[in-house]
Amino acid sequence: MGIVSHYKYVFQIQLIRNAGFFIFIALLQILISIGIVIGFTYLIPNPDTETILFLATGAPTIIFIFTGLVILPQQIGNAKTDGYMEYMRTWPVNRSVILGADTTIWLLITLPGIIVSTIVAHLMFTPGYDISWTVVPALLMIALTSIGIGYGFSYLLSPVASMGISQAVVFGALMFSPVNFPMDRLPEWLQSLHEVLPIYSMAEVMRASLAASTFDATIGNYINLMVWCILGFGGAIFILNRK
Amino acid sequence: MILDVKGVTKVFRGKGKSRNVANDNLTFTINKGEIFGLLGQNGAGKTTLVNQILGLLTPDDGDIELLGESVMQSPARARSICSVQPQSQVPLGLLTPKQAVTLMGKMRAGKKFNPKRVEKLFEALDMGEWANTEGEKLSGGAKRLTTFCMAVVAPGELVILDEPTNDVDPVRRRYLWQVIRDLTKNGNSVILVTHNVMEAEKAVDRVAIMDKGKILIQGDPSEVKSSVGDRMRIELSLEKELKHIEVPSWALSSHQNGSRLVFSMDPSKVSSTVNWAKDQADKGLVIDYALSPTTIEDAYIELTAKKEAVL
């Protein structure tokens, strides 16, 4: 039987099994992404349009990081603990089909939050969105990178260890990453670290496609994302096939 | 021949130099349409063996062939030849039994999948009342039956059932054995992994008894039983503790499980045993007793106990 029909049935099983949770997370992300845009304007008194644009174009990146590096690893941790992971490994399908179906679901969950928060921010602040055609491949690439990395480390590490990493990532991404503010506010050593880590590149690529007339992303950002994406998914497939 | 296991050894290395030989030079075959019982206590190495047949683990030594081809060469092929009911419960979440079984059937059979097969299975196992209940709301037995159906809805040439009757009520257990029997009529082979020896005895064509990673004996049930000789066994329900009872000197092997005492004897001692048991009952030490030919359970206990004595 073909990969396409395998994909279809695996997708259905995975979606229905966790449907309640997925709907809850999608709703939660709408709230979080609106919250980032509005909440930070309380933190920064009288923000100028540029600051708001930074926040508004940073929120989708936070959503992707949150989904890929926090919620997804928690789900994998559960699947490992309750034996579902072992069961999936006995299915008569290619392991990358399972990974593909799950990735599609995670992608679908993040989209409502990003769309709604962008519309809300535009209506409230009109910060100067200028959405380029690159938004589709950019979103896809950023999503796949964060999902891929999430898979990579949660398959590799024990549930407890990956939970720890998740907590550190969500705090670090919100407070110490150039997602919601410009890179040059960070100390130099953190700047060099972010040149290697994927978070900065995600934010840059996202900004460049949501406000193309204000922000630019470098080729380096795209390459950085690609490398992390391949590392993540490659690692996950390697571990799934490991005996 | 469906399955050919040749000298399979699997060693797990723990921290430091600790080694656990989970499978020690196992060799056996399974033929088309055969139910093969794999018996053994917890930790005997049964699940490790199953995982190697599925290609989830690689043997350290030896080879496993499914339909004439090595599992290690193509684990994906092994997973499509075998369909599995795992030992642990499968968390179904919001999937209803009907959805779960139907989707698994489609995943295995594709366009050849027949939805009527789901109806028939649910009917045969009397599962209709739960067919559309969300998995997380099902009882343990209903969940177990659902994963059983997921394994047999579009069965592979080799169906592997790991403790399929756990949590299942006695009435549906009978239905379940019937479904398993029907599978073999269509030419599917079954590996039945269990520690429930009594139940397995009635169902299997051949058995292997495993202990500490080794196969102690294999053959059809009567062969395995005759390995402990042509004997009779008596099973007694005790009223009082065992220490009040003097087990007769002609008892060959005895074991106690709660208030149940079982021992075996030479057939020539049957009448003395009955007299002895009647005497114990008259004294109020024994509630009732039953005499029967030896079962696989006796062979199983004697074999595993023997091994411990040697060690």
pLDDT exceeds cutoff 60 at B307? no
pTM over 0.95: no
Regarding whether B126 and B100 lie in a shared domain, the answer is yes
Regarding whether B158 and B244 lie in a shared domain, the answer is no
What residues form DSSP beta bridges with B82?
B158
Regarding whether B102 and B10 lie in a shared domain, the answer is yes
Q: Establish if B14 belongs to a structural domain.
A: yes
Q: Establish if B24 belongs to a structural domain.
A: yes
pLDDT exceeds cutoff 60 at A174? yes
Nearest to A153 by CA among A170, A165, A168: A165
Q: Establish if B299 belongs to a structural domain.
A: no
Cβ within 8 Å, pair B79-A17: no
Q: What is the pLDDT of residue A243?
A: 58
Q: Establish if B67 belongs to a structural domain.
A: yes
Q: What is the pLDDT of residue A1?
A: 64
Regarding whether B268 and B201 lie in a shared domain, the answer is no
pLDDT exceeds cutoff 50 at B311? no
The DSSP 8-state label assigned to residue A130 in this structure reads: B
Nearest residue on chain A to B113, alpha-carbon basis: A1
Gyration radius of chain B over CA positions: 22
User: Rounded mean pLDDT of chain A?
Assistant: 89
CATH assignment at residue B248: 3.30.70.250
Q: Which of helix, strand or coil describes residue A11? A: helix
Across A185-194, A217-226, B53-62, B289-298, least confident range = B289-298
Q: Choose the final residue of a domain: B225, B253, B280.
A: B225
pLDDT exceeds cutoff 90 at B230? no
CATH assignment at residue B27: 3.40.50.300
Q: Choose the final residue of a domain: B225, B242, B268.
A: B225
ipTM above 0.95 for this complex: no
Q: Choose the final residue of a domain: B178, B197, B225.
A: B225
A17 in contact with chain B, both atoms CB, cutoff 8 A: yes
Regarding whether B253 and B156 lie in a shared domain, the answer is no
Summarised one tens digit per residue, pLDDT across range A23-76 is 999 999 999 888 887 887 787 888 888 888 888 888 899 899 989 999 999 999
Q: How confident is the model at residue A106 (pLDDT cuts 50, 70, 90)?
A: very high
Nearest residue on chain A to B60, alpha-carbon basis: A243
Contacts of A21 in chain B (CB under 8 A): 93
Q: Establish if B309 belongs to a structural domain.
A: no
The answer to whether B64 touches B72, Cβ cutoff 8 Å, is: yes
CA B108 to chain CA mean position, Å:
24
Helices and strands (DSSP H and E) totals, chain A = 11, 0
Regarding whether B216 and B74 lie in a shared domain, the answer is yes
Report the DSSP pairing between strands B206-211 and B260-265.
unpaired
Please give the average per-residue pLDDT across A150-155, as a whole number.
88
Regarding whether B204 and B126 lie in a shared domain, the answer is yes
For A48, counting Cβ atoms within 10 Å of its Cβ (0-12 exposed, 13-18 middle, 19+ buried), the class is exposed
B14 in contact with chain A, both atoms CB, cutoff 8 A: no
Angstrom distances, CA of residue A181 to CA of A56, A205, B32? 11, 14, 67
Q: Where are the alpha helices (DSSP H) in A157-216?
A: 159-175, 188-196, 198-210
Regarding whether B96 and B65 lie in a shared domain, the answer is yes
Percent of chain B whose pLDDT exceeds 90: 57
**Listed ranges A124-138, A205-219, B152-166; the one with the highest mean pLDDT:** B152-166
Distance CA B131, CA B288 (A): 42
Q: Establish if B268 belongs to a structural domain.
A: yes
Q: Establish if B63 belongs to a structural domain.
A: yes
Q: What is the pLDDT of residue B221?
A: 86
Nearest to B95 among A17, A90, A92 (CB): A17
Regarding whether B276 and B216 lie in a shared domain, the answer is no
Q: What is the pLDDT of residue B308?
A: 47
Cβ within 8 Å, pair A91-B95: no
What is the nearest CA distance from A8 to chain B, expressed in angstroms? Answer: 9
Phi, psi of B90, deg, nearest 5: -95, 120
User: Rounded mean pLDDT of chain B?
Assistant: 89
What is the nearest CA distance from A96 to chain B, expressed in angstroms? Answer: 12
Nearest to B92 among A17, A91, A93 (CB): A17
Regarding whether B99 and B240 lie in a shared domain, the answer is no
Q: What is the pLDDT of residue A124?
A: 87
Please give the average per-residue pLDDT across A117-142, as a whole number.
89
Regarding whether B218 and B143 lie in a shared domain, the answer is yes
Summarised one tens digit per residue, pLDDT across range B271-285 is 889 999 998 888 888
Regarding whether B148 and B132 lie in a shared domain, the answer is yes
Distance CA B73, CA B65 (A): 10
Please give the average per-residue pLDDT across B110-137, as a whole number.
94
Range of the domain at B91: 3-225
Q: Establish if B244 belongs to a structural domain.
A: yes
Distance CA B30, CA B65 (A): 11
Contacts of B92 in chain A (CB under 8 A): 17
pLDDT exceeds cutoff 50 at B147? yes
How many domains does chain B divide into? Answer: 2
